[in-house]
C-alpha cells in the first residue's frame, strides 16, 4: 500500500536546501548572510526522515523532511507524508506550555512535508550521552516538566472537552504511525514476525520463551488495548532517549511525529524504560569492572527523580484553577471534600504510575526482541556480554508489565533493577 504524495512534493537534495530556505524570509534572517554562504549537511540517523543542518553566519537551523517511505526499511514500507503535519501540530501544542523543552519552529511547509526549526547546538542525542556516561544534572527536572506540562494541558483535567475533541479528531488520522507502534511495540516481540531480531544464538531460548509466556503476552495485549482506546492526552508517542537532545543545562524533546491522543503512561514509560535500558547496558560499556557503578547509580536516581518530579508537577497543575471539565475545584471546596479529592488524585497518579511501568516494559522488550534496537545495547561488541545485559533488561521488563502493580513506588522499581544488576556482578555474563 502506497500513500498519496501530494502534487508539488519533491524530496530535497543537499544542493536544493539553501535555495529553498532563501525563499523563506524568517529562516533566511535566522541564518544571516547570503545563501551561498550557508553550509548544508544531511545528518538524519533516524528511521523515518531526511534531516539537514544548515548553518549561516548568524545561526543555524534544522530542516526535517518526511519521505514517503520508512527510511530504515526502504520504499517497500511506505509511510504517509502527513506525519510531518502531525509532528508540526504536536510541536506547536507542546510549545504553548513547555517552549523551553522543544525546538522552536520557524517554518512549516505542508506540501513538502517539511519543518524548519532551531538547530540545537551543542546538544547531542541523550542516548549517546548515556552511552558515554555523561551526567545530566537537570535532565530529570526538565523532562518531568516537559511531560507534566504537555500531558496535563492536553488532558481532560487541563482543557475543556470541546477543545480536546477537536484536536483529537485531527490526530485520529495519524493512523499509520500509530500502527507502527501497535505492531512493533505491543505485538511483534511476542510472536514470530518479519524483522524481529535478537542477539543470537545467546537469546534464542529466551525469545522462544517470551513467545510462549501467556501472562506476559496478556500484559502486552492489555497495554495495547490502553494504547488503542485510552485517549487521555496528546502524547509525544516516541519519547525515548533518542528523541531528546541535551546539554548539561538544556533538554529538548524532538520528533513528535507519532503524536496522538493516547495514554499518558506511554510517554512516561518510554523515558523510564529507555533509562533502564541504559542502566542495564552500562556493564557492556565498562572498560574495567565497576567503572560505571557511579553512573549506574546516577541513572537510577534520574529515573526516580523523573517520576517523583513529574508526579509533583502534575499534581501542582491540577491543584491550581484549571481549564478542564472534570474534578473542578469548586466541586470539592469544603473541608471534608478535600479528603475525597486527595484520594481521587492519589488513585489517578497511582494508575498513571502503574501504566508508566507497564508501557516502559513494552518499550524495553521491543528494543531487544523486535525490529528496531537501541545503540545502548547494539554498541556492545561482545555478544555474550550484550546478551547478559539484554537478559537482565528483559527480566525487569517482564516484571514491569506483569507485576507493575506490586511496586509501592519508583524507589522499589530501582531496587528491583539494582538487584538484577547485583546478581550479574556475582555471576558474570
Chain residues that interact with a second copy, rule: CB under 8 A: 155-156, 161-162, 164-166, 168-170, 172-173, 175, 178-179, 182, 186-187, 190-191, 212, 214-215, 217-218, 221-222, 224-225, 228-232, 325-328, 330-332, 334, 336-341, 343-344, 347
- Among 142, 113, 121, smallest CA distance to 60 is for 121
Closer residue to a second copy, CB minimum distance, 218 or 294: 218
The answer for 255, left when phi > 0, alpha when psi is -120 to 50, beta otherwise, is: left
Specify which residues 105 forms β-bridges with. Answer: 117
Cell, residue 95: 510549545
Strand pairing of 60-66 and 233-235?
Answer: unpaired
Specify the residue, 13 or 191, whose C-beta has the smaller distance to a second copy. Answer: 191
Shortest distance (Å) from residue 166 CB to a second copy: 7
Residue 271: which of 177, 395, 130, 134 has the closest Cα?
130
Return d(Cα 84, Cα 90) in angstroms, integer.
10
- Could you give the CA distance from residue 381 to residue 154 in angstroms, rounded to a whole number? 42
Q: Which is nearer to a second copy, 38 or 318 (CB)?
A: 318
Question: What's the distance, CA 206 to chain centroid?
Answer: 26
Shortest Å distance, C-beta 175 to a second copy: 5
The residue among 173 and 423 lying less far from a second copy, judged by its C-beta, is 173
CB of 262 to a second copy, least distance (A): 10
Phi, psi dihedral angles at 195 (to 5 degrees): 95, -20
What are the φ/ψ torsions at residue 259 (nearest 5 degrees)?
Answer: -60, 140
Length of the chain (residues): 429
Provide, rounded to whole angstroms, the least separation between the CB of residue 363 and a second copy.
Answer: 17
Of 141 and 222, which CB lies nearer to a second copy in the complex structure?
222
Provide the minimum distance between the beta carbon of 331 and a second copy in the complex, in angstroms, as a whole number. 6
| Least distance (Å) between residue 335 CB and a second copy | 9
Instruction: Return d(Cα 395, Cα 421) in angstroms, integer.
Output: 11
* DSSP track, 403-416: SGGG-SSHHHHHHH
Other Cβ atoms less than 10 A from the Cβ of 131: the count is 22
CB 201 within 8 A of CB 387: no
Q: Quote the least distance from Cβ 159 to a second copy, whole Å.
A: 11
String of b and e for 298-321 (b: at least 16 CB within 10 Å)? Answer: bbbebbbbbbebbbebbbebbeee
Minimum distance, C-beta of residue 189 to a second copy, in the bound complex (Å): 11
Q: How far is the CB of 233 from a second copy (least distance, A)?
A: 8
- Distances in Å between the Cα of 86 and the Cα atoms of 124, 222, 271 are 24, 26, 21
Least distance from a second copy to the Cβ atom of residue 48, Å:
19
Q: Which is nearer to a second copy, 128 or 315 (CB)?
A: 315
Which lies closer to a second copy via its Cβ, residue 31 or residue 394? 394
* Cα 150 from Cα 264, distance rounded (Å): 10
Measured from the CB atom, is 30 or 154 closer to a second copy?
A: 154
- Smallest gap from residue 391 Cβ to a second copy (A): 22
> Which residue, 173 or 384, has its beta carbon nearer to a second copy?
173
Rounded to the nearest 5°, which phi and psi values hold at 13?
-95, 165
| Total Cβ atoms within 10 A of residue 109 | 17
Rounded to whole angstroms, how far apart are CA atoms 147 and 268?
A: 7
- Residue 32 region, left (φ>0) first, then alpha (ψ -120 to 50), else beta? left
Q: In the complex with a second copy, which residue's Cβ is closer, 86 or 106?
A: 86
Closer to a second copy by CB, 306 or 400: give it. Answer: 400
Amino acid at each position: 500500500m502506497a500513500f498519496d504524495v501530494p502534487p508539488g512534493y519533491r524530496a530535497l537534495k543537499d544542493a536544493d536546501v539553501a535555495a529553498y530556505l532563501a525563499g523563506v524570509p524568517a529562516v533566511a534572517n535566522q541564518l544571516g548572510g547570503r545563501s551561498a554562504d550557508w553550509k548544508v549537511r544531511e545528518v538524519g540517523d533516524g528511521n523515518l526522515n531526511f534531516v539537514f543542518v544548515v548553518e549561516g553566519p548568524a545561526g543555524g537551523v534544522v530542516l526535517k523532511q518526511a519521505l514517503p517511505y520508512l527510511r530504515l526499511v526502504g520504499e517497500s514500507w511506505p509511510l504517509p507524508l502527513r506525519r510531518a503535519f502531525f509532528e508540526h501540530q504536536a510541536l506547536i501544542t507542546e510549545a504553548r506550555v513547555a517552549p523551553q523543552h522543544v525546538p522552536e519552529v520557524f517554518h512549516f511547509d505542508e506540501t513538502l512535508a517539511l519543518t524548519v526549526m532551531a538547530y540545537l547546538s551543542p546538544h547531542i542525542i541523550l542516548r549517546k550521552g548515556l552511552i558515554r556516561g555523561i551526567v545530566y544534572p537537570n535532565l530529570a527536572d526538565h523532562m518531568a516538566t516537559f511531560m507534566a506540562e504537555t500531558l496535563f494541558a492536553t488532558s481532560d483535567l487541563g482543557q475543556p472537552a470541546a477543545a480536546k475533541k477537536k484536536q483529537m479528531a485531527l490526530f485520529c488520522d495519524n493512523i499509520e504511525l500509530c500502527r507502527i507502534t501497535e505492531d512493533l511495540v505491543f505485538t511483534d516481540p511476542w510472536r514470530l514476525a518479519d524483522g524481529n531480531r535478537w542477539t543470537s544464538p545467546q537469546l534464542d531460548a529466551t525469545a522462544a520463551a517470551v513467545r510462549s509466556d501467556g501472562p506476559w503476552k496478556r500484559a502486552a495485549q492489555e497495554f495495547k488495548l490502553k494504547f488503542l482506546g485510552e485517549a487521555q492526552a496528546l502524547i509525544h508517542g516516541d519519547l525515548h532517549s533518542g528523541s531528546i537532545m541535551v546539554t548539561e543545562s538544556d533538554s529538548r524533546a524532538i520528533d513528535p511525529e507519532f503524536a496522538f491522543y493516547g495514554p499518558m503512561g506511554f510517554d512516561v514509560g518510554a523515558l523510564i524504560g529507555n533509562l533502564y535500558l541504559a542502566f542495564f547496558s552500562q556493564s557492556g560499556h565498562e572498560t574495567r569492572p565497576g567503572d560505571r557503578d557511579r553512573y549506574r547509580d546516577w541513572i537510577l536516581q534520574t529515573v526516580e527523580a523523573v517520576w517523583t518530579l513529574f508526579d509533583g508537577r502534575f499534581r501542582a497543575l491540577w491543584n491550581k484553577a484549571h481549564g478542564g471539565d472534570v474534578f473542578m475545584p469548586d466541586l470539592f471546596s469544603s473541608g471534608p471534600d478535600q479528603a475525597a479529592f486527595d484520594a481521587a488524585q492519589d488513585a489517578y497518579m497511582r494508575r498513571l504510575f502503574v501504566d508508566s511501568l507497564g508501557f516502559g516494559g513494552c518499550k524495553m522488550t521491543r528494543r531487544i526482541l523486535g525490529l528496531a534496537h537501541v545503540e545502548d545495547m547494539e554498541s556492545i561488541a561482545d555478544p555474550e556480554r550484550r546478551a547478559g545485559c539484554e537478559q537482565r533488561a528483559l527480566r525487569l521488563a517482564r516484571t514491569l508489565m506483569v507485576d507493575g502493580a506490586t511496586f509501592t513506588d519508583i524507589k522499589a522499581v530501582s531496587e528491583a533493577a539494582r538487584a538484577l544488576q547485583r546478581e550479574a556482578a556475582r555471576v558474570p555474563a
